[in-house]
């Protein structure tokens, strides 16, 4: 439940991210708009965003990634960061599944179950639990962005059950329930190289995604450069930009296009006889 977008400007290599601030703690708890910042640093030049039904999973993953990265210095290559995020994700997957299905039998992990489950439960029940493991969805998607040791920008996604999807070729990525609307907005025309224009296009995509279930109206926009320095836009400025965007939606269709259409058979064959 959310929308999170990250993009890289070319050739300057700035990273721009935007997300809503709606917070959900599971289906039993009503989501709250303007509740939290959905991006957190995991190192000087790397950060994570999330989309989840239960936001409580995110901060433990951030803490785990931070510890993993901190133990390996200040600068990190892409593979080190991917290892950190996947390890944290997989550990959370194991912990959540174990707490729901295995802890009642005093089994401490999925690995432990694989070692003793067959002998303890027999083939049929062992197979059923294995099927549950295969179907289990942690319910959180992570979008990681930042700069490697050569200060080259990267974006990658980690989704259930720890799958990595790299987005460097496209130069942008979208996660969350607002994916379709935001992606459609971004694909409408080529993304600009200019930082200011990229910021506007990502805000435009986020505003478009607000019709999706679970996407809040409150908005966070952050920028980062290759030194790990962050920037942000305040809520007041974002609302002024929203007003500009809403005005563009009310602009009439271009008259040049209407003049061409009016002369086509699509119009003339069915209208001329009625005039």
Residue 118: exposed, middle, or buried by beta-carbon count in 10 A (0-12, 13-18, 19+)? middle
Domain ranges of the chain: 3-233
Spatial distance between the Cα atoms of 37 and 164, rounded to a whole number of angstroms: 23
Its CATH class, for the domain covering 3-233, is alpha beta
Tens digits of residue pLDDT in 215-262: 989 999 999 999 999 999 999 999 999 999 999 999 999 999 999 999
- Taking each helix axis as running N to C, give the angle between helix 195-209 and helix 179-187, from 0 to 180 degrees, rounded to the nearest 10: 140
Tens digits of residue pLDDT in 46-96: 999 999 988 899 999 999 999 999 999 999 999 999 999 999 999 999 999
Q: Is this model's pTM higher than 0.85 or not?
A: yes
Q: Where are the alpha helices (DSSP H) in 71-109?
A: 78-97
Beta strand 172-176 with 163-166 is: unpaired
pLDDT of residue 32: 64
């Amino acid at each position: 439940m959310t929308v999170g977008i990250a993009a890289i400007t070319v050739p300057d290599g700035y990273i721009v991210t935007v997300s809503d601030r709606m917070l959900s703690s599971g289906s039993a708890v009503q989501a709250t708009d303007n509740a939290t910042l959905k991006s957190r640093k995991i190192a000087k030049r790397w950060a994570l965003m999330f989309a989840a039904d239960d936001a409580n999973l995110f901060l433990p993953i951030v803490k785990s990634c931070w510890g993993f990265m901190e133990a390996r210095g200040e600068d990190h290559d892409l593979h080190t960061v991917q290892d950190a995020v996947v390890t944290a994700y997989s550990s959370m997957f194991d912990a959540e599944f174990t707490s729901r299905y295995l802890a009642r039998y005093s089994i401490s992990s999925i690995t432990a179950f694989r070692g003793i489950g067959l002998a303890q439960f027999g083939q049929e029940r062992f197979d059923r639990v294995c099927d549950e493991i295969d179907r289990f969805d942690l319910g959180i998607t992570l979008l990681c962005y930042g700069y490697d040791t050569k200060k080259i920008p990267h974006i990658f996604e980690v989704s259930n059950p720890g799958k990595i999807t790299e987005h460097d070729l496209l130069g942008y990525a979208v996660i969350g329930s607002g994916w379709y609307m935001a992606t459609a907005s971004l694909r409408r025309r080529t993304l600009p190289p200019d930082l200011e224009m990229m910021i506007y296009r990502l805000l435009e995509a986020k505003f478009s995604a607000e019709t999706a279930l679970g996407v809040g109206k409150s908005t966070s926009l952050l920028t980062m450069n290759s030194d790990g320095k962050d920037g942000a836009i305040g809520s007041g400025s974002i609302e002024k930009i929203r007003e500009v965007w809403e005005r563009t939606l009310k602009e009439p269709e271009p008259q040049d296009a209407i003049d061409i259409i009016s002369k086509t058979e699509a119009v003339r064959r069915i209208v001329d006889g009625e005039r």
